[in-house]
Amino acid sequence: MTINRRTLLAGAAALPALGGLPFRSARAQAANTIRIGVMNDQSGTYRDLSGPGSTQAVELAVKESGITQRGVTVEVVQADHQNKPDVGSTVVRQWIDRDGVDVIVDVPTSSVALATNTLVREKNKVFLNSGAATSDLTGAQCSPNTVHWTYDTWMLAQSTGGAMVRAGGKSWFFITADYAFGHALERDTGNFVKAQGGEVLGAVRTPFPGTTDFSSYLQQAQRSRAQVIGLANAGGDTINSIKQAAEFRITRGGRVKLAGLLVFITDVNSLGLEVAQGLVLSETFYWDLNDKTRAFTQRLGAMPGNIKPSMVQAGCYASVLHYLKAVGDMGVAAAKASGVDAVTRMKAMPTNDDAFGEGTIRADGRKIHPCYLFEVKSPAESKGAWDYYKLLGTTPGAQAFRPLTEGSCALVRS
């Protein structure tokens, strides 16, 4: 069911959203000004894990980059793409053509990210993606203007999928959100399971958006006699699937395991530990991972809705920090003149920040850093609010992402 009440007024709603981005400063100062546009979901299911929190993280990066002390003005604007590629494309076009935005940041929802990727390349600006999952951003559709920072479907498939197969989960059944992202995640995980000698017994495609009751799909999965039920969905779909699996005791007796292939910390918070405990998931950032991540979280201050930063928001911080370092290095004029040059400079410099530690950016635009496998704590193990994960294992950056040669990215062959 794609009819959302907001859709009824989509046309009307899109216009004020676009028009409401006034720039206070005069265009005359534009030469020495970097404009950063944070575009994500401000009103739907991904608001908590990206949304205004991402903008807050970007503003911290601007402050800590120290670039403003050197006389450079940085302006941060934000917009809601409503998880719709057409709305997202219109925002990006206006930002670049009318408002002189140099960098687009975040952009969760794979379909919107792919549309933005094409547009930014056309206009030779910079695209720092943190929120989207599709590995196509650094694969078949890779671009010299794009850096894909935080995570992707290949990484999730290998980390969570790999852990489940190693633990003996050889036969799989997927509950898949019926759109591009769900299909990609099912495909990547299925391939990985088969390569490890496992088998895929079947999949059920659930209408997206609009499915709230997953109990019948869970029962179908259970009847397939698969050892692992893979949830190739995200956000509210994942929350409802896990909640109802607990309610229907799908995993009792330990014969069937549930694999949440894309679970964010905000999802765990929404589920509560009573329901989420024992869930295995993969992230590249956890606020309580080490002293540096804790310090970063501290500096970020109170987030909208009193949440802790998600890996997507941390990715917005780290990618903008690195971009501004490159700008400081090459000069504002050169960075503004060519997005390709700015991204090339970013790739030439090693990255280092409190959220992800040391890392690099590969030729195909893939940011390389470790990936962590976590298990959700039980209520007894948790010492307080947002104390949710225990670390099961770490995949080093070099192995965490799809090998450079396997992504069929044109930038790599040339």
Partner 1 sequence: MIENLLFELEMAAPQVILGLVNGAFYALLSLGLAIIFGMLNVINFAHGAQFMMGAFVAWMLLAWAGIPYWGALVLAPLIVGVFGVVIERTMIARLYKLDHLYGLLLTFGLALIIEGVFRNGFGSSGLPYAPPAAFNALNIDIPIMFLPGYRVWVVIASVLVCLATWLVIEKTKIGAYLRAATERPELVQAFGINVPRMMTLTYGAGVALAAFAGVLAAPIYSVNPAMGANFIITVFAVVVIGGMGSIMGSVVTGFGLGLIEGLARVVYPEASATVVFVIMAIVLLTRPAGLFGRG
Q: List interacting residues with partner 1 (CB under 8 A).
A: 1, 3-6, 8, 43-49, 51, 178, 204-207, 209-213, 215-217, 219-220, 223, 235-236, 239-240, 243-244, 247-249, 266-267, 269-272, 274-275, 304-305, 307
C-beta of 33 vs 83, nearer to partner 1: 83
DSSP 15-37: HHHHH-----S-GGGGGGEEEEE
E strand or H helix at 351: strand 351-353
Q: Smallest gap, in angstroms, from Cβ of residue 346 to partner 1?
A: 31
* Least distance CB 240 / partner 1 (angstroms): 6
Which strands sit side by side in the sheet containing 280-283, from one edge to the other?
280-283, 371-376, 389-395
Contacts of 22 (CB under 8 A, 6+ apart): none
Distance CA 371, CA 375 (A): 13
Judged by beta carbon, residue 69 or residue 306, the one nearer partner 1 is 306
End-to-end CA distance of the chain: 43
Q: Is 101 helix (H, G, I), strand (E, B) or coil?
A: coil
**Hey, what amino acid is at 17?**
A
The answer to whether 335 and 34 have CB atoms below 8 angstroms apart is yes
In angstroms, give the least distance from the CB of 154 to partner 1.
Answer: 25
Least distance CB 374 / partner 1 (angstroms): 18
Amino acid sitting at position 323: Y
**Distance between CA atoms of residues 25 and 28, nearest Å:** 8
Q: Of 122 and 247, which has the nearer Cβ to partner 1?
A: 247
209 in Cβ contact with 216 (< 8 Å): no
Q: Please answer whether residues 269 and 386 qualify as being in contact, where contact means their C-beta atoms are separated by less than 8 angstroms.
A: yes
- CB of 22 vs partner 1, minimal distance in Å: 21
User: At a CB cut-off of 8 Å and minimum separation 6, what does 223 contact?
Assistant: none
Smallest distance from the beta carbon of 91 to partner 1, in angstroms? 19
Copy the structure tokens of residue 257.
């395991």
Helix (H) or strand (E) holding 62: helix 51-65
Cβ proximity to partner 1: between 23 and 248 the closer is 248
Backbone CA torsion sign across 128, 139, 81, 306: negative
Provide the minimum distance between the beta carbon of 12 and partner 1 in the complex, in angstroms, as a whole number.
12
Q: Where are the alpha helices (DSSP H) in 196-331?
A: 215-223, 235-247, 265-271, 273-276, 291-300, 311-330
Q: 158 near 135, Cβ under 8 Å? A: no
Which residue in the block uniquely carries the two structure tokens 């700008």? 327
Question: What's the min distance (Å) between Cβ of 203 and partner 1?
Answer: 10
CB nearer to partner 1: give 2 or 69: 2
Instruction: State in angstroms the smallest separation of the CB of 46 from partner 1.
Output: 8
Gap between the Cα atoms of 170 and 217, Å rounded? 20
What are φ and ψ of residue 48, in 5° steps? -70, -40
Of residues 66 and 210, the one with the C-beta less far from partner 1 = 210
Q: Which is nearer to partner 1, 180 or 204 (CB)?
A: 204
Query: 83 or 160, CB closer to partner 1?
Result: 83
Nearer to partner 1, 242 or 409 (CB): 242
Least Å distance, CB 250 to partner 1, is 8
Angle at 267 between CA 10 and CA 108, to 5 degrees: 45
Q: Which is nearer to partner 1, 305 or 396 (CB)?
A: 305
